């Protein structure tokens, strides 16, 4: 019987890498340097997987492309300073090995900036697992728009219905389901209900207890 799962697509922050605390610390430092005091609700927006330009406009108001590029580089420097001790999400490397052994092609679809995404993949020795890496630089509209997932499916030469996405944010789940893909939510900090309400097919705290056979059951 043919395998119904032809492609596995991973978000970056909170799915492949445990980067949310570092991501938030870098954004907090950046925003405070620009006179913007942030609270916990502001930080929750940072976790929604939006494109950098959207986050900059959310916090600072309209910015030109040149400003966005300059601000982005500034924030990336702060992120690199914070990211020296970053680690992968529990069980993710084992899941990548399982999918590789099962000959399931894999891709990354993150609305993070290209430089930061590739830096983390290289830093954690994850890049070789993925046939394609799409970032916020590669699409006009970020999640919850499904464009990034549809672009991955086209690049990987699969139908959206043959792909499964791994997401940890409501905007990411919404984008995956809008693209017509299966979606496994990754959440262990009280966000499980929100991901279920957004439409994901199942939710787990991490990849420790997940197998390829479990993923196939979602199709």
Q: How does pLDDT run across 3-45, given as a tens digit for each residue?
A: 899 999 999 998 999 887 887 888 888 888 888 887 777 777 7
Specify the higher pLDDT residue, 209 or 181: 181
**What domains sit in the chain, N to C, each tagged with a CATH number?**
7-19+87-216 (3.40.50.1000), 20-85 (1.10.150.240)
Strand partners of residue 183: 165
Average pLDDT over residues 108-132: 92
Q: Which residues are catalytic?
A: 11
What confidence score (pLDDT) does residue 1 get? Answer: 67
pLDDT at position 83: 75
- DSSP for 77-94 reads HHHHHHGGG--BPTTHHH
SS3 per-residue string spanning 119-146: HHHHHCCCHHHCCEEECHHHCCCCCCCC
Structure token digits, residue 11: 């978000």
Integer Cα distance of 11 and 32 in angstroms: 27
Confidence at residue 195, expressed as pLDDT on a 0 to 100 scale: 94
Under 8 Å CB-to-CB from 23, ≥6 apart: which residues?
A: 13, 46, 47, 79
Give the mean model confidence (pLDDT) for residues 94-101.
Answer: 97
Which of 199 and 48 is assigned the larger pLDDT? 199
Residues 6+ apart with CB under 8 A from 147: 139, 140, 141
């Amino acid at each position: 019987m043919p395998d119904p799962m032809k492609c596995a697509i991973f978000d970056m922050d909170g799915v492949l890498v445990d980067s949310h605390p570092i991501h938030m610390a870098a954004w907090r430092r950046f925003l405070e340097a620009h006179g913007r005091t942030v609270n916990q609700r502001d930080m929750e927006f940072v976790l929604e997987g939006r494109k950098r330009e959207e986050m900059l406009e959310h916090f600072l108001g309209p910015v030109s492309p040149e400003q966005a590029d300059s601000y982005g580089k500034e924030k990336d420097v702060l992120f690199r300073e914070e990211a020296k001790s970053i680690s992968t999400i529990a069980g993710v490397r084992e899941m990548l090995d399982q999918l590789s052994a099962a000959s399931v092609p894999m891709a990354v679809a993150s609305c993070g900036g290209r430089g930061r995404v590739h830096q983390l993949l290289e830093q954690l020795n994850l890049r070789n697992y993925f046939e394609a890496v799409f970032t916020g630089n590669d699409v006009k509209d970020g999640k919850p728009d499904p464009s990034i997932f549809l672009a991955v499916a086209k690049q990987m030469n699969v139908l959206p219905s043959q792909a499964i996405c791994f997401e940890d944010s409501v905007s990411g789940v919404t984008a995956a389901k809008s693209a017509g893909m299966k979606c496994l939510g990754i959440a262990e900090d009280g966000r499980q209900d929100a991901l279920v309400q957004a439409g994901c097919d199942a939710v787990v705290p991490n990849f420790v207890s997940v197998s390829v056979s479990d993923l196939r059951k979602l199709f």
